Structures are given as structure tokens and as C-alpha cells.
Amino acid sequence: MTEMHNQESILSDGAVFFIFGATGDLARRKLFPAIYSLYREGKLGERFAVVGLARRPRTNDEFRVDVRTSIDEFCRYDVKDNGEWERFAEHFEYKPLDINNVDGFRELNVQTEEIERKFDVPGNRLFYMALAPELFGSVSHNLRDGGMLDTEGWTRLVIEKPFGYDLESAERLNEQLSSVFKEEQIYRIDHYLGKEMVQNIEVIRFANAFFEPLWNNKHIANIQISLSETVGVEERGGYYDHAGALRDMAQNHMLQMLTMIAMEPPSRLHPEDIRDEKVKVLRSLRQYHTAEEVHEHVIRGQYAAGAMKGKALPGYREEEKVNPASVTETYFAARVFVDNFRWAGVPFYIRTGKRLPVKTTEVVVEFKSMPSNVYLGRKHKLEPNLLVIRVNPMEGIYVRINGKKPGAEGGIQPLAMDFCQSCMIGINTPEAYERLIFDAARGDSTYFTRWDEVAAAWSFVDKIAEAWRESNDDLHQYPAGSWGPQAANELLEQDGYRWWPVNGQEEDTVVWK
């Protein structure tokens, strides 16, 4: 927990939240339900307002109906019929806005000052860009030129990924934003950093005496990070065909989880000290300098036609809005090294893909095996100990050890201690967007990405993308519904390891709950 997280758990001074792209899918599925959950839990109080902004015309009443529909469909709380909804909906207003017309921003500023007087908000303004990245710059400049940043309170900008397409485009985007906002005002959101078990990684590591002393190359054989999806590209074919798994998942979610696992203990429990340690990990990543090194350590694949649960599935090139000759990867796996004293020589295996058999996100820490030529190792095959951190969809921790089989035979079998956090909390586990919106409003930047983090991640990823542009010979096809290309298995087999089963459990493992 950081110092910021120990603050009063209510937005005491209040704020006005501006949602650009308020009629879009992100606002409907995530943002409105998150704001309602924060309200239900008493974290917003009554000193707040939400202004929805988009091109299409809407009245306030029509907008509030849209918000109610969103909450009924996607929120973890049911709306109470005791007048609460009316009190909540009163905080929502809508304004049609042409984001290229600065006069519209001047009108918005007048409207905002009226809203702030109505709800006793002292000029605190949070701008949430649920927009395409190419619009961030022009919106930021018009916020400034339209007087929206001339306030006695604080102003903060929350932006969604992707933050650029490569390092060069990310630098251009950052220059545009930096000409208006200071770095400490910019909150680059990666919703994976808002997930309960990702945030729990630092607690598991730094609050348990039997993990942290072993968290190094003397005791850990390898670490595996898996992010698998059962869905294909759905209606995102146009976007995905220009992004691919490398940019859509690896550059942000995968590398962010890697930094949480590999970072050093921060000197203080302060957001900037924590982010400093994450940047050090990214700077310590062993770069791929040649195309040959990329081909040796990185696997890319694309799903072909297949089947899942008896249902036939099309191949990626057959999906809507996808180029029939596309070489975009839907699967990415890599062997990564963090070249510092703690992790020297320990391979980190990361993989992500679409149309895989199970939807899950988890981290597997495989500890070094006991010696095979002494004592019990001479008579038994001893499996390695595992620590599995389950991030999504089930949340929890799984620890695997070796123990004696019941009976007189003296056999040894894997035993698992399984803590299911989702089973304990159930459907009311807070969503990632709830935490991150609340953190941004409180000024807690711990779980947002800083510019030097973004730049370091792009610097690593760009070398891979550059090698792929030279040749498509290493694009592996895999059937939809399978676990990806065989080459990804061979990546680990070269080192004497294997991918551990997703969800951590094997048939011969006895589970203690």
C-alpha cells in the first residue's frame, strides 16, 4: 500500500469528470458503471459531476437514460429504487462538442463553472479521453485555449492506450500533451494495473518473509506470464490488423506485469519511488539487436480456422475488416532476460494470444528443483515448486509443493494450497476502472504509466517489430481453439522447461483449499 492509498477513502474536495467519447463503448461498458460503483460505496460523496462530451446530439435526459442502461447491463451493483438513482443522475450532464472548435470549449467552460457552483466543487477537473490517440493533442490544446485549464483547483488528464504505434509516434504524442500538461498531470491508464491480483503482487512479494528472500536467480528457475483470450478479433478487425498482439498486449499489459514481478523493493512507499523501480526493470531488459536474435527468442503466430467446444471458428484472415493476406500476429511469445544482479540468467517467458482454449491471465513462478542425485531425489521424480498468481478471470494464489502420498508405499505427489479470492469476495470484487478513476481523482499515480516507462517499453518492442518487417517466414499458423504454435513450446523445451498448465493445476495434483 502506498502513502496515497492510506488517505481518506472519499473524494472529499470533489471534482468534475469530463468524459470525451461519452457515447462510445468504453464509457458504456466501463466508465459509467465504475462511477456508479464509487458512488454506491460512498467514495464520491455528493460533490461531483460528470459531463459527457461527444459529437452526436443528446439532451441531459437522453444521456441519463444511456447511463442508466449502461449501469443496468454492466455494473456489479443493482440500482436501488429508493430515490438514489435520481440523486445520482442529477450529477450527469451532456454537451454536444466538436473537439476541433475552440468556441465549443469556451461554452463548456461557462457551463462547467455553473456546475461547480451547483455541486460546490472548487475547480477540480479530470479530463478522461475515451478517444482515438490521434485526437489527444488537439483536444488538449483546445482545453487550454478554451479556458478549461484556468481554474483554482487541480486539472488532470487521463488517456487510454495505445499511446502511440511505436517509439517515434509516442514521442510526437507526448510532445503534444507536454506542451499543455505537466508530466505529473498526465495519467496514462493501463487497466491491467488496476486489477486486484496485479496490485497484490507487491504485497505478496514484500510482505511475506518466505517469498522475498527467495525472489532471485539463486532460487527461481524461470517465470512465466500468460495472457490468453478465447475470443477472436470480433468487430475490432480494422484496428487489430494494424496493431497485432505485440502492440495490443505485449507492449503494455505483459511488460507492466513483468515489471511488477521483477522490480526491486522501493526505497519509500511513494508512487514515484515505485514507478522508478519499474523503469529500472524496463531499462534492464536485454535488447534484441539483430533479426536473428528476435527469431531465436520470439515466436509469432496467427490463428487459422479451427473449433472450440464443437463450434467451427474462422481463421484470422477470414475475419471482417481483416486483409485476406494479412501477416498480423494474433499470438506472441518471447524469452526475455532482465540483466541485473537479482535476475541474471533467469528466463522470463511471456505469451499472449487470441482464440486460445481458456481465458486467463496468470503468473507462474517456478522455483529451482531439489537435487535429483541425493536422498529422495534418487528414488522419486520430484516436481518443482510453483507459486501461481491468478489475475483473471479467477483471482487468487496457488502454491504447489511435494508431499507424501497417504499409505505405506512412500510415494511422493504434488500438493497444492489454493486460495481463491474471487470465491471469497464474489461478484463484488472492485473493477480495475473503479480503482484507477478514483486514484486519478485523488492524485495517486502509482498504477499509471509514466512517460519514461512508455518510452522504454516501446524501445524494447520496436526492435521486434523491425525484425518482423524484414521477413514473414516465421509467422506460424495455429488452429483456433489450440494453445498456439508448437514453436512456442519448443522455446521452453530448449531450456529444459515447459509451459505450466493454465490455471496451474494438473490431474495428479491434490488440492488443499
Nearest alpha carbon to residue 247 among 460, 392, 448, 453: 460
Q: How far apart are CA 328 and CA 468, in angstroms?
A: 10
Joined grid coordinates for residue 489 = 513450446
In terms of phi and psi (left: phi > 0; alpha: psi -120 to 50; beta: otherwise), the region of 63 is alpha
Question: Rounded to the nearest 5°, which phi and psi values hold at 266?
Answer: -70, 155
Q: How far apart are CA 147 and CA 151, in angstroms?
A: 8
**How many angstroms from the chain centroid is the CA of residue 290?**
29
Question: Rounded to the nearest 5°, which phi and psi values hold at 509?
Answer: -95, 125
Three-state secondary structure readout of 387-418? EEEEEECCCEEEEEEEEECCCCCCCEEEEEEE
CB-based contact 50:160 (threshold 8 Å): no
Of the chain, the end-to-end C-alpha distance in Å amounts to 27
3-class secondary structure, 343? coil
Joined grid coordinates for residue 466 = 523491425
How would you label 490-510 residue by residue, b for 16+ Cβ within 10 Å and e otherwise?
ebbeeeebebbebebbeeebe
| Helix, strand, coil distribution of the chain in percent, nearest 5 | 40, 20, 40
Q: How far apart are CA 128 and CA 21, in angstroms?
A: 9
Choose the catalytic residue: 91, 191, 253, 297.
253
Q: How far apart are CA 139 and CA 180, in angstroms?
A: 10
What are the CA-CA distances from residue 250 to residues 177, 253, 295, 300 (Å)?
A: 24, 6, 16, 12
Joined grid coordinates for residue 473 = 517466414
Helix (H) or strand (E) holding 312: strand 311-313
Question: Rounded to the nearest 5°, which phi and psi values hold at 16?
Answer: -105, 125
Question: Does the active-site annotation cover 253?
Answer: yes
Q: Which residue carries 465549443 as its cell?
A: 104
Nearest alpha carbon to residue 462 among 342, 310, 316, 287: 287
How would you label 433-462 residue by residue, b for 16+ Cβ within 10 Å and e otherwise?
bbbbbbbbbbebbbbbbbbebbbbbbbbbb
CB-based contact 315:480 (threshold 8 Å): yes
**How many angstroms from the chain centroid is the CA of residue 466?**
24
Q: In one letter, which amino acid is 366?
A: E
Query: Pairing between strand 155-159 and 125-129?
Result: parallel
The catalytic residue positions are: 253
